[in-house]
Amino acid sequence: MSLLTTVLAVLPLFVDADVDLASPLVFDPIFYVNTNADLHHLGINTEAAAKQHWLSKGISEGRQGCGSFHSRQYLKRYSDLTKAYGTDYHQAVVHYLNHQSEKRLGYVDGGYSGRWTISNHDHDLFVSASGRMGGAIDSLVWDNKEFINAWDHGRELQMATNTHPYGECFNPTEAGGRDDSIGPSTKSKIISISSHGSTLKTTNHPAFWLRHGGHEAPGSKNRICSGRRPARNTVDTYGYDFSKMLQLVVQACLIVSNLSQCSQLPPYASGQPVVLATSDLKHAMGAYAPDRTGHG
- Mean of the pLDDT values across residues 39-62? 95
- Mean of the pLDDT values across residues 76-99? 98
pLDDT at residue 257 tops 80:
no
What pLDDT shows up at residue 225? 82
What pLDDT shows up at residue 3? 35
What pLDDT shows up at residue 2? 36
What pLDDT shows up at residue 40? 86
Q: Using 50, 70 and 90 to split pLDDT, how confident is the model at 224?
A: confident
pLDDT at residue 142 tops 60:
yes
Highest mean pLDDT among 20-34, 209-223, 241-255: 20-34
pLDDT at residue 288 tops 60:
yes
Least confident of 6-15, 64-73, 97-106, 202-211: 6-15
What pLDDT shows up at residue 4? 34
Say what percent of the chain tops pLDDT 70. 81
pLDDT at residue 216 tops 80:
yes
Q: How far is CA 167 from CA 85, 111, 172, in A?
A: 53, 34, 10
Bridge pairing between strands 242-247 and 254-256: unpaired
pLDDT at residue 75 tops 60:
yes
Q: Using 50, 70 and 90 to split pLDDT, how confident is the model at 284?
A: confident
Least confident of 54-58, 165-169, 217-221, 226-230: 217-221
Contacts of residue 75, Cβ cutoff 8 Å, sequence gap at least 6: 81, 82, 85, 86, 87, 89, 92
- Mean of the pLDDT values across residues 107-112? 97
What pLDDT shows up at residue 290? 65
- Mean of the pLDDT values across residues 156-171? 90
Q: How far is CA 236 from CA 137, 138, 150, 163, 167, in A?
A: 21, 21, 21, 16, 16
What pLDDT shows up at residue 15? 43
What pLDDT shows up at residue 294? 54
The pTM for the full model equals: 0.84
pLDDT at residue 51 tops 60:
yes
pLDDT at residue 258 tops 60:
no
